[in-house]
C-alpha cells in the first residue's frame, strides 16, 4: 500500500510541476499582452482603442444572443 501511495505522490508532483510550467508561460504571455495594451493606451491611438472596445462589446452581445437562443 505504501508503494502505491509513493507512486501516486510522484505522479501528482509531476503533474503539479507541469501545471506550474504552464502557469509560468501563461503569465509571461499575459504580461507581454498587458505591456502592449499599456503602450497602446499611452499613444495617440485612441481611435484604434475605441475600435477594439466596440469589437469586444459586439462579441459580447453576439455570445449573449447565442446563449439566449439556446
User: Using alpha carbons only, what angle is made at residue 49 by residues 43 and 51, rounded to the nearest 5 degrees?
Assistant: 145
C-alpha cell at 9: 505522490
* Inter-residue contact 70 to 62 (CB < 8 Å): no
- The whole-angstrom separation of Cα 46 and Cα 21 is 36
pLDDT of res. 44 = 62
**CA pair distance 58, 50, nearest whole angstrom:** 12
Domain boundaries in the chain? 1-69
> How do residues 4-60 score in pLDDT, each as one tens digit?
999 999 999 999 999 998 888 888 888 888 888 787 777 666 777 788 899 999 999
What is the reported pLDDT for 55?
94
Using a cut of 0.85, tell me whether the model's pTM lies above it.
no
Q: What is the model's pLDDT at position 37?
A: 78
Amino acid at each position: 500500500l505504501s508503494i502505491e501511495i509513493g507512486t501516486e505522490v510522484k505522479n501528482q508532483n509531476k503533474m503539479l510541476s507541469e501545471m506550474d510550467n504552464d502557469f509560468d508561460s501563461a503569465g509571461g504571455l499575459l504580461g507581454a499582452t498587458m505591456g502592449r495594451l499599456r503602450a497602446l493606451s499611452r499613444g495617440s491611438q485612441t481611435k484604434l482603442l475605441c475600435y477594439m472596445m466596440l469589437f469586444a462589446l459586439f462579441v459580447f452581445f453576439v455570445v449573449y444572443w447565442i446563449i439566449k437562443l439556446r
